[in-house]
Structure 1
Amino acid sequence: MTGFALHLLRHGAPETPGLLMGRTDGAPTEAGIAACVAQAKGLGIECLVASDLWRCRAAGEAIGSAVDLPLTSDRRWRELDFGDWDGMAVNAVDVGAFGRFVDDPDANPPPGGERWSALVARIAAAIADLAPVPALVVTHGGAMRAALHVLCSFDQRRLWAFDLPYAALLSLRVWPGERPSAQIVGLRP
């Protein structure tokens, strides 16, 4: 089996950057949408999926228009739910609590928020449901890191090392199966 190309694209810049935006949605900027469309050029995709949150769907709709593909919305590609921290600036969160979360997000989830393992489980299910054709998923930084964990078995420390700015494109070659795996073939900030 030759595998298939899976491109993960972080949504473009929101109108209010710098917030912990999990379930909290925010309007994307026009420049952010344009940056996503530019990243998607020439990928040769046959499948287009986006998180159901507007900051991803807006870019997905613009990309779909540009490449003449329908957009499928899938809530499993959402960001981690930050619970009580959702919508807050990082510097407004208790430093100790945030540090514990970064060190071990499964043992120390945000208050009222989602555990890392729950995010990983829903991303694994979303990946398993993808058709084995070249695909682009417009999603969030946390979901992209969860996909790297699922497909490449990266541990938490390695995942935080990835710089995934708004409109970053991560390209993988995925080999589906009972235990899917992938190889990173590119990262464009």
Structure 2
Amino acid sequence: MFKSTQFDLLRHGTPALKGVYLGRTDSVLSAQGAREVLAAVADNPGWDLVVSSPLLRCLDSAQSISEQWGIPLLVLDQLQEYDFGDWDGQAFEAVYAQHAHLADRFWQDPEANPPPNGETVAQFMARVQVAKSLLLNREETRILVITHGGVIRAMVADLLGVQPLQWSRIKVDYACFTQLKFDVDSRHCWPQLVSSNTRSPF
């Protein structure tokens, strides 16, 4: 059986909490961020499911969109942002002032140098893969996924074979879409990057 599924990955809007390692730390959107998302989803190109990270900067928008378009909402814990461990919620400057060598090593090679008590890249990738598999096994064919910059980069990197050291080269702006298409049969999956970092899902 052949099936084609498209993920319209939407990064949440600008959060109220900025300038910090914003991973598992919960933050609502700023007023600007809420407006950004409303503009991005002003029209429905054919979504039959909304999927969201449980964090409020994604979930608040997802609930509104689900109600607006009358389509189901699914919340997946696996779509949460990367867990920065002891640094999560702390200002970039404060972490660098106290742990400059650790911060430098993390940004130079995140795979080998996770933050103290933070998630490893392998753990992060594994749970994002679980989310992808769950969605590909559903009946819906055009899925709006509201999630985080790290999750979107991980999905794109996996599709294109980009190593973690180069993930920062994948631009993912607030309230922008990255679209992935998966053509699947009983034995194979043919993935394709349809668009990257666009303001419109059309």
TM superposition score normalised by structure 2: 0.85
Amino acid aligned to 2:194: V
Contact 1:150 1:181 in 2 (8 A): no
RMSD: 1.9
The match for 1:127 is 132
TM superposition shift of 1:176: 4.1
Q: How does 1:147-162 map to 2 (within 5 A)?
A: 147-162=155-170
**From 152, 172, 176, the counterpart of 2:180:** 172
Indicate the SS of the match to 2:132: helix
Cα-to-partner distance string for 1:102-141 (whole Å, 9 max, x where unaligned): 2222211010110011110001010001125111111011
Decide which of 154, 170, 188 is 1:146's aligned counterpart.
Answer: 154
What is the identity, as a one-letter code, of the residue corresponding to 1:183? Answer: Q
Q: Shift of residue 57 of structure 1?
A: 0.1
Is 2:181–2:194's contact at 8 Å kept on the other side of the alignment?
Answer: yes
Separation in 2 of the partners of 1:52 and 1:24? Answer: 11
- TM-score scaled to structure 1, two decimals? 0.90
Structure 2 alignment gaps of length 5 or more: none
Q: Does 52-61 or 34-43 show the bigger shift?
A: 34-43
Letter in 2 for 1:111: P
Give how far 1:143 is off.
Answer: 0.7
1:169 deviates by 1.1
- Measured at CA, do residues 179 and 13 of structure 1 come closer, stay the same or move farther in structure 2, by a change above 3 Å? farther
1:57 aligned to which of 35, 56, 59: 59
Measure the CA separation in 2 of the matches of 1:107 and 1:180: 30
Q: CA deviation at 1:34?
A: 2.7
Name the residue aligned to 1:67: 69
- Of 175, 193, 199, the residue aligned with 1:184 is 193
Provide the secondary structure at the position in 2 that maps to 1:97: helix
